[in-house]
Amino acid sequence: MVIDASRNYFELFDFSESFDIDASVLADKYRELQSLTHPDRYANASDQERRLAVQAASYINEAFQILKQPQSRARYLLSLKGVVFNDETDTAADTEFLMEQIELREALEEAAQKDDPLARLDELASEISGRSDALIQAFREQFINDDTVAAKETVLKMRFLQRLHHEIDRLAEQFEDELL
Amino acid sequence: MALLQISEPGMSTNPHEQRLAVGIDLGTTNSLVASVRSGVAETLADDEGRHILPSVVRYIKDTDVVVGEAAKTVAADDPLNTIASVKRLMGRGIGDLKTVAGHVPYEFAGTDSSVPRIRTVVGEVSPIEVSSEILKALKARAEQTLGGELAGVVITVPAYFDDAQRQATKDAARLAGLNVFRLLNEPTAAAVAYGLDQGTEGVIAVFDLGGGTFDVSILRLNKGVFEVLATGGDTALGGDDFDRAIAGWLMEQAGIADDAGHKQMRRLMRDACAAKETLTRQEDADIKLELADGSHWQGQLTREQFNRLIEPFTKKALAACRRALRDAGVSKQDVIDVVMVGGSTRVPNVREQVGEFFGKPPLVDIDPDKVVAIGAAIQADILAGNKPDDEMLLLDVIPLSLGLETMGGLVEKVINRNTTIPVAKAQEFTTYKDGQTAMAIHIVQGERELVDDCRSLARFELRDIPPMVAGQPRIRVTFQIDADGLLNVTAEELTSGVQAGVEVKPSYGLTDNEIETMLKDSMAYAQDDMEQRRLREQQVEADRVIEALDAALAVDGKLLLSEDEYAAIISARDMLIEVRQGNDANAIKQAIKQIEKTSEDYVARRMNRSIQQAMAGHKVEEFE
């Protein structure tokens, strides 16, 4: 790896390790780094340099993706603090939250039977966005208070909502296909 | 120009040297070549002043291959040896032919290669070879017009092309003896041609309806950076479909049987195409057909009727626009400009529908047939290093998700569609048998959950895994997608640090060996030519390496290198200069390799330093 791997994504972009980062500053820095490392800048360079450029640009792309989304940024911040995530066994424990998830899943299944399923899916999507925002707010406080246990639980909840969102997109695409 | 020079932007060691570079629009129906001359990007014409080269290749017994207009005009008389729309077959397998080639008249040979072969009078040819003939014709035209050898080319591909189709395009270029700077998405090239990087900031939609493919791209422009937010489209939708719809209507009206011969079908398609073109200027088109028995049929097609015939296709295109907008996370209202590309956007109904959908009249000022080649030429000029101060950067995305086959024929996504490239993802695997030294990975492209519903890309076989107890090895497989959207796979066993060998079996492409064989067989590369060419290539590369290294060392060699490291690099450099004087291409190649090895750390340190400096510069700006 060409880029110094001992520096984490925050250091790469010269940010402090905090949850709140300015999205437009991040985007500007990202573009600047890409214009330094993108393989197009090395169209005439040696094979070796081109290879290194591909690796460096890939690393910067990955870092940008992780930092851009609050969900992945939250998870990454926790992992820097030594919190370990195990995708196969970790799950949210909050029963009230899990009940809500079941209800949302049911609402999703029922959307197909509505007169205008796409409109219903839009409604559900905005409801989920609202809940995501609340989780982001919660994480912000938990992280500032160094409550990594609660923060991890919040990240796991975020993952639930993200999956629901993907499911909504997938269903919407199906309905669109049927309309054709 | 090179990594070693990045801390001195705009600095060129050889400012007067203009490198010849062209952009090539390798289209389904037509192809073009363009170049920037005296600051203006323009398409290049042939001896007879024609800019458009029909993408038609005719093979004639015992003589040369004929490409373009001359091939197109006789297509109806020699249908089996005249290959048109070969782009539709690029990167496709034998199994696809039923769907893709439903309407093409060629005879396909049974073959054990994964690439279909078309039977002609000169023998069997692959779509890659047919494409390379088109590229050779454009290359010859460019080198004649520009008066020199091309340093490199930018070739455009539909944004929707999968890995196999991109690889096939690159292989065709290699067969044609072209150095590919970059495969560029056609819609991105169109946006570049309109100069939308000059000033405007915001979201742009590019609607590209060509002869055989439809693409829609959603781009964001910001301070000279083009970012493809999302792409969508259909690799089997285009003006040819309009022609076929008209032809089908004509057959119905004139009572022509479905099993009409090759020749009659060709003629019918030609008449249909002519009617379509008339309807862009007039409200109705008169059509006269010659039937098989020598009698004639006469009739009229109105624009209204035509609009109805193409409605399924325009609907499909607009649905793809909607999806691309959603993938991009933007709404119709965010779109500030809509760029129209491809000859089929001349159809008035298409313009109306697009204008209505986006709520603004689309841009149609540049000839929609030339706009892609012009954009490609602008990009080629920049990549050749002719405009060192140009800040334009095109960030692209991968059009289809990349996944692995897992247990039960399911797909596990590794890289999601519309992820910015280049990108790398690593995944760990282990063995399930004691002493297992090899394993296979099947890679697919597509959005569906089942392997069978996705497109098989390649099978990778990992070898040389150190024998261990089952489950103990940790094999990290890295999937690297480069700026052209092409996949490369490497694998390493982590507990032992052993690099596993990776053997690629492309599902719908040629292996490296097959390409080598084709290159050797190619008449254009007599043995002497090959060696001369290799030597010249190595000499050019050597000069490039030395030039870049000297420039870098002058800037920060003493700062970033210890005395020993510095001495080692200088000694490798002197060695290269010495062998550069000789005639041994291999020796030069070895010496270049040696320099690269010696200076690897230095190159990496420079890149890291420039990144840190750039970010530190930011800090200063923000506090000011």
- A62 shares its domain with A107: no
Interface touch A45/B480, C-beta < 8 Å: no
Residues in chain B with CB shorter than 8 Å from the CB of A29 are 615, 618
The span from the CA of B252 to the CA of B271, in Å, is 15
pLDDT of residue A71: 94
pLDDT of residue B136: 96
pLDDT of residue A3: 59
User: Is A3 domain-assigned?
Assistant: no
Within the 15-74 window of chain A, which residues sit less than 8 Å (CB to CB) from chain B? Answer: 25, 27-29, 31-49, 52-59, 61-62, 64-65
User: Is A75 domain-assigned?
Assistant: no
User: Is A126 domain-assigned?
Assistant: yes
Query: ipTM more than 0.85?
Result: no
Interface touch A13/B615, C-beta < 8 Å: yes
DSSP character string of B123-178: EEE-HHHHHHHHHHHHHHHHHHHHTS--SEEEEEE-TT--HHHHHHHHHHHHHTT-
Residue B318: strand pairing partners: none
Element (H, E) at B231: strand B225-234
The span from the CA of B183 to the CA of B376, in Å, is 9
* Residue range of the domain that includes A165: 95-179
Q: What is the CATH number of the domain that holds A38?
A: 1.10.287.110
The span from the CA of B427 to the CA of B424, in Å, is 10
- A155 shares its domain with A104: yes
- A57 shares its domain with A107: no
Question: Given the DSSP bridges, would you call strands B152-157 and B21-26 parallel, antiparallel or unpaired?
Answer: parallel
- A103 shares its domain with A152: yes
Q: Does residue B208 carry a catalytic annotation?
A: yes
Give pLDDT tens digits for B580-609: 998 898 999 999 999 988 998 898 888 888
Q: Is the CB of residue A107 less than 8 Å from the CB of residue A40?
A: no
- A64 shares its domain with A110: no
Interface touch B480/A25, C-beta < 8 Å: no
Q: What is the CATH number of the domain that holds A151?
A: 1.20.1280.20
- A14 shares its domain with A55: yes
Mind telling me how many Å the CA of B483 is from chain A's nearest CA? 7
- A175 shares its domain with A137: yes
Residues contacting B48, CB < 8 A, separation 6+? none
Give pLDDT tens digits for A83-102: 998 877 787 778 888 899 99
CA distances from B123 to B58, B59, B67, B74, B306 (A): 12, 9, 17, 19, 40
Q: Does residue B25 carry a catalytic annotation?
A: yes
The residue from B162, B171, B197, B208 that is catalytic is B208
User: Is A28 domain-assigned?
Assistant: yes
Interface touch A32/B423, C-beta < 8 Å: no
Tally Cβ neighbours within 10 Å of residue B78.
Answer: 17
Element (H, E) at B120: strand B117-120
Residues in chain A with CB shorter than 8 Å from the CB of B182 are 40, 43
- A116 shares its domain with A152: yes
User: Is A25 domain-assigned?
Assistant: yes
Residues in chain A with CB shorter than 8 Å from the CB of B14 are none
DSSP A39: G
Give pLDDT tens digits for A102-145: 999 999 888 888 888 888 888 899 999 999 999 999 999 999 99
Residues in chain B with CB shorter than 8 Å from the CB of A34 are 225, 393, 395
Angle at B401 between CA A136 and CA A22, to 5 degrees: 30
Q: Which token pair is B462?
A: 């990992």
pLDDT of residue B617: 67
A9 interfaces chain B, CB cutoff of 8 Å: no
Greater confidence (A49 vs B526) lies with A49
pLDDT of residue A1: 44
User: Is A46 domain-assigned?
Assistant: yes
Interface test with A, best of B607, B608, B609, B622 (most A CBs within 10 A): B607
Over B523-537, what HEC string results? CCCCHHHHHHHHHHH
- A101 shares its domain with A49: no
Q: Does residue B405 carry a catalytic annotation?
A: no
pLDDT of residue B230: 84
Within the 304-323 window of chain B, which residues sit less than 8 Å (CB to CB) from chain A? Answer: 315-316, 319, 322-323
pLDDT of residue B144: 95
A99 interfaces chain B, CB cutoff of 8 Å: no
Q: Which of A128, A60, A176 is nearest to B232 (CA)?
A: A176
Question: Given the DSSP bridges, would you call strands B53-54 and B30-37 parallel, antiparallel or unpaired?
Answer: antiparallel
Q: Smallest Cβ distance to A32: which of B316, B548, B614?
A: B614
Q: Is the CB of residue B131 less than 8 Å from the CB of residue B172?
A: yes
Please provide the average confidence, as pLDDT, over all residues in chain A: 88
- A117 shares its domain with A169: yes
Q: Which of B125, B77, B80, B145 is nearest to B106 (CA)?
A: B80
CA distances from B553 to B1, B481, B566, B567 (A): 15, 31, 9, 11
B489 interfaces chain A, CB cutoff of 8 Å: no
Within the 57-96 window of chain B, which residues sit less than 8 Å (CB to CB) from chain A? Answer: none
- A101 shares its domain with A171: yes
Q: Is the CB of residue B369 less than 8 Å from the CB of residue B30?
A: yes
The residue from B46, B186, B240, B241 that is catalytic is B186
DSSP character string of B36-58: EETTEEEEPP-TTS---EESEEE
Of A33, A52, A68, at which residue does a domain stop?
A68
How many domains in chain A? 2
- A58 shares its domain with A107: no
User: Is A51 domain-assigned?
Assistant: yes
Q: Is the CB of residue B316 less than 8 Å from the CB of residue B344?
A: no
pLDDT of residue A116: 83
- Dihedrals phi, psi of B391, to nearest 5 degrees: -95, -5
Q: Does residue B428 carry a catalytic annotation?
A: no
Please identify every stretch of chain B with a pLDDT value under 50, giving residue numbers as ranges. Answer: 1-16, 101, 620-624
Residues in chain A with CB shorter than 8 Å from the CB of B544 are 44-46
Residue type, B251: M
Q: Length of chain A, please?
A: 180
First to last CA, chain A: 47
pLDDT of residue B362: 95
Rg (CA), chain A: 20
Angle at B355 between CA B350 and CA B356, to 5 degrees: 100
Interface test with A, best of B185, B398, B615, B622 (most A CBs within 10 A): B615
Instruction: Tell me which chain B residue has its CA closest to the CA of residue A173.
Output: B323
User: Is A127 domain-assigned?
Assistant: yes
pLDDT of residue B104: 60
Question: Given the DSSP bridges, would you call strands B180-185 and B30-37 parallel, antiparallel or unpaired?
Answer: unpaired
